[in-house]
Amino acid sequence: MITLEADLHTHTVASGHAYSTIKENAEAANFKNLKILAMTDHAPAMPGSANILHFGNLRALPRYINNVMILRGVELNVLDTQGSVDFPEMFFGRNLLARMDWVIASLHENILTPEPGFDYTGLYIAIAENPAVDLIGHPDTPAFSFDIEEVVKAFKANNKIVELNEHHAFETSEQSRINAKKIMKACAKHGVYISVNSDAHTCWDVGRHKQAVKMLEEIKFPEELIFNAKASRVLDYLFKKHPTLKDELNNF
Ligand SMILES: [Zn+2]
Ligand SMILES: [Zn+2]
């Protein structure tokens, strides 16, 4: 039985089209026995979402709310077929993107209009090669198809984590579910970490992962490659990426 200790993709009111606060999301995460919650509001290109100051000021948040560790994250929008993203690297003279705890990069059809018949392999490889990105968000969109073998090999080579998104893979289209299953099988074959996330836009959806877990159990996905099955796995990764984070948590 697969259990999860972190939800690494959630939205708050700051996204503009989500409905709960970070306090409400953290309470829900605690209720569901999660140890880590990533707050990943949409980056500025999403209409109505937070502006850059929201991300620049995330350190105003406590490190723990209701005994749940809060990761200061963002869901970037991919803007073009070169893999450009909607986040300035420098903010008041600092590399803000590199300082974020947790960075998701996702393709959204309202931001990047899909071109019928276009092969998105090159775009996904460009995202794989972006050192700021941790997690590839919901890569199952049928309109953005790519060579799964080639792309998953690039994710492996660049130490990327691939998302199985409870909402996107199971509640948008049958083809998304089919694509997600193929991608998960390729990740198992190539030893690529995956992360099962809710993409919650309300506190009631935080920690929701039933359909994703059922699929992973069906295909006998190896537990050791489920990144957020263990909080310690997430922390080991973060401490390598951010050497000062361990001290910051100890001193909190
Ligand atoms: Zn998204
Ligand atoms: Zn999202």
CA distance 228 to 235: 10
The parts of the chain modelled with pLDDT lower than 50 are none
List, as ranges, residues with CB under 5 A of the ion ligand 2.
75, 199
73 assigned to some structural domain:
yes
Q: Do the Cβ atoms of 11 and 40 come closer than 8 Å?
A: yes
Looking at all shown ligands, the one closest to residue 41's CA atom is 2
CATH number at residue 82: 3.20.20.140
In the three-class reduction of DSSP (H, G, I as helix; E, B as strand; rest coil), residue 193 is classed as: coil
CA distance 55 to 17: 17
pLDDT at 108: 98
Domain that holds residue 133: 6-250
pLDDT in tens, 123-147: 999 999 999 999 999 999 999 999 9
93 assigned to some structural domain:
yes
CA 109 / ligand 1 centre spacing (Å): 10
pLDDT at 225: 98
Domain count, the chain: 1
pLDDT at 115: 96
Q: What is the pTM of this model?
A: 0.98
19 assigned to some structural domain:
yes
pLDDT in tens, 176-207: 999 999 999 999 999 999 999 999 999 999 99
State the helix-helix crossing angle for 121-128 and 148-157, rounded to 10 degrees. 10
CA distance 172 to 47: 20
pLDDT at 92: 86
Where do runs of H (alpha helix) occur along the chain? 22-31, 52-56, 96-99, 121-128, 148-157, 168-171, 174-190, 210-218, 231-241, 245-250
pLDDT at 251: 83
1 assigned to some structural domain:
no
CA 11 / ligand 2 centre spacing (Å): 6
pLDDT at 90: 86
Q: Do the Cβ atoms of 67 and 80 come closer than 8 Å?
A: no
